[in-house]
A and B are shown apart, each in its own frame.
Chain A
Amino acid sequence: MSYIGILITYVFISNLILSQFLGLCPFIGVSKDLESASGMGFAVTFVMTIASLVTWMVYHWVLIPLNVEYLQTVTFILTIASLVQLVEMVVQKYSPALYKALGIYLPLITTNCGVLGIALININQGYNLMEGFMAGFSAGLGFMLALILMSSIRVKMQTERVPKAFKGIPIAFISGGLMALAFMAFDKALLTNLIG
């Protein structure tokens, strides 16, 4: 698949949150205001892109030559966990401003199923290194898009009258559902029409 195709697929058609249910916890937890949503979005995009690259390399250059593909889950989660730690340290040292913006979100990303999810999807889809990189980056962008849209909805919601039982999490889910309904307009047919 072309790189543009991968980009459109993972940002709109198979949006990580709205159609694949990966990374729902931050979608509900960190979408209360625009600032934290965009912070989390950037942090996830950053880690997803690097993680896609590194896990691809680990799988194809280490696990396959050694014939230990069954260790995939263990190695990937460890790779991601150490990567997040490394990114945190590097960012803290070289860019205190960025660290201030992303710092508190980075540890949360280790247990974000989106990162591991996209790493596993890359392998299952048989992408090559560049395609995997592109998929990771686009999935991160899609995640950020959904998170930012959600946070704007929730900010608006604060001034609306919501029945007491629906306050907070339930109404967030329902608005997420309606958003997913809107995203259903993006489907495989759209992709074929756009790039053939």
Chain B
Amino acid sequence: MKELTKGIYRENPIFVLVLGLCPSLAVTTQVVNGIGMGIGTMFVLICSNIMISLLKNVIPDEIHIPAYIVVIASFVTILDLMMQAYLPALSASLGVFVQLIVVNCVILGRAEAFASKHGVWDSVKDGIGMGIGFTLSLVLIALIRESLGAGTITLFPIESLGFNGEIRIPGLVNSPARVMTLSAGALLVMGYLKAAINGINERKGR
């Protein structure tokens, strides 16, 4: 259980370990992109954790990094092709960042720090926990950026309910602070969130 929950807050990959920043800031202009990216990363993280913890005794020590990268890159390719086939809209809006999951330090970091030292089952739990933590952080950043920057919250459309996937926030939708969806806003939001988490942790520790 500890393996599963530590990724959500105590060892949150983005806010505590400060890993995998590029996708977390680049794709979080819309909540739906954040969810898509988070789940995509979680898929690669779980699969590569399984693979690497199975192969940990076979891979020679000297070339373990290239070997891990090949494993990760293969799963990223699978994910990229699947996304292009089944979720073309999401794939188009994430763009080059789907392929860039391969250099997401969260995945290589977990492979190196956890999966190469633990059994398969623990590695799966670690992958799920870290993946959930990563997804939740992306959603949090995206919620702040999209609601302030565009005045909307974009989710998956549900046709049976007549929901087009977009929640409009009254008041903000007509006069949004556009800068929040641009790069400057992303860096500012990240800075304030990290500061808030530092502040909370400090208060707890006291």
Point out residues on A near B: beta carbons under 8 Å. Answer: 18-25, 28, 70-74, 77-78, 81-82, 110-113, 116-117, 120-121, 124, 163-167, 169-174, 176-178, 180-181, 184
> In the complex the two chains form, what is the Cα distance from A164 to B201 in whole Å?
12
Q: Are A28 and B18 in contact (CB under 8 A)?
A: yes
The interface residues of chain B lying within 8 Å CB-to-CB of A177 are 184-188, 190-191
Evaluate contact between A112 and B18: CB separation under 8 angstroms: no
Q: Mark B74-86, 1 if CB is under 8 A from A, else 0.
A: 1011001100000
Residue of B nearest to A16 (CB): B22
CB pair B22–A23 under 8 Å, yes or no, is yes
| Contact between chains at B21 and A28 (CB < 8 Å) | yes
Contacts of B100 in A (CB 8 A): 22, 113, 116-117, 120
Q: Does B55 contact A (CB under 8 A)?
A: no
Q: Tell yes or no: B167 within 8 A of A by CB.
A: no
**Contact yes or no, B77 A71, CB < 8 A:** yes
Question: What residues of B have a CB within 8 angstroms of the CB of A28 in the complex?
Answer: 18, 21
The 4 A-B pairs of least Cβ separation, nearest first, read A173-B191, A177-B187, A174-B191, A177-B188
Contacts of A78 in B (CB 8 A): 66, 69-70, 73
Closest Cβ–Cβ distance, residue B199 to chain A (whole Å): 4
Interface of B, secondary structure class, is helix
Residues from chain B with Cβ under 8 Å of A21 in the complex: 21-23, 25-26, 183, 186
Interface size on B, residues (CB 8 A): 42
Instruction: For A22, give its contact among B22, B76, B186, B191 (CB under 8 Å).
Output: B22
Q: Mark B51-82, 1 if CB is under 8 A from A, else 0.
A: 00000000000000110011001101100110
Question: In whole angstroms, what is the CA distance A121 to B131 when docked?
Answer: 27
Task: Tell whether B159 is near chain A: CB-to-CB under 8 Å.
Answer: no
**Is B102 close to A, CB under 8 A?**
yes
By beta carbon, the residue of chain A nearest B84 is A70
Q: Which of B93-134 contact A (CB under 8 A)?
A: 96, 99-100, 102-105, 108
Closest A residue by C-beta to B99: A73
Q: How far is the CA of A15 from the CA of B186 in the complex (A)?
A: 15
B77 touches A173 (CB 8 A): no
On whether the beta carbons of A170 and B198 are closer than 8 Å, the reply is: yes
Given the interface pairs A116-B103, A121-B96, A169-B18, the reply to whether A70 lies near B194 with Cβ below 8 Å is: no
Residues from chain A with a CB closer than 8 A to the CB of B183 are 18-21, 180
Contacts of B73 in A (CB 8 A): 73-74, 77-78
Closest beta carbon of chain B to A144's beta carbon, Å? 17
In chain A, what residue has the closest Cβ to B69?
Answer: A77
B138-166 vs A, Cβ < 8 Å mask (1 yes, 0 no)? 00000000000000000000000000000
Nearest chain A CB to B193's CB is how many angstroms away?
8
Q: Across the interface, do B66 and A24 meet the contact criterion of CB distance under 8 Å? A: no
Given contacts A117-B100, A120-B96, A174-B192, contact A184 B21 (CB under 8 A): no
Q: Which residues of chain B come closer than 8 Å to A113, judged between CB atoms?
A: 22, 100, 103-104
A23 and B99 alpha carbons, distance in the complex (Å): 14
- Chain A residue nearest to B103 (CB atoms) is A113
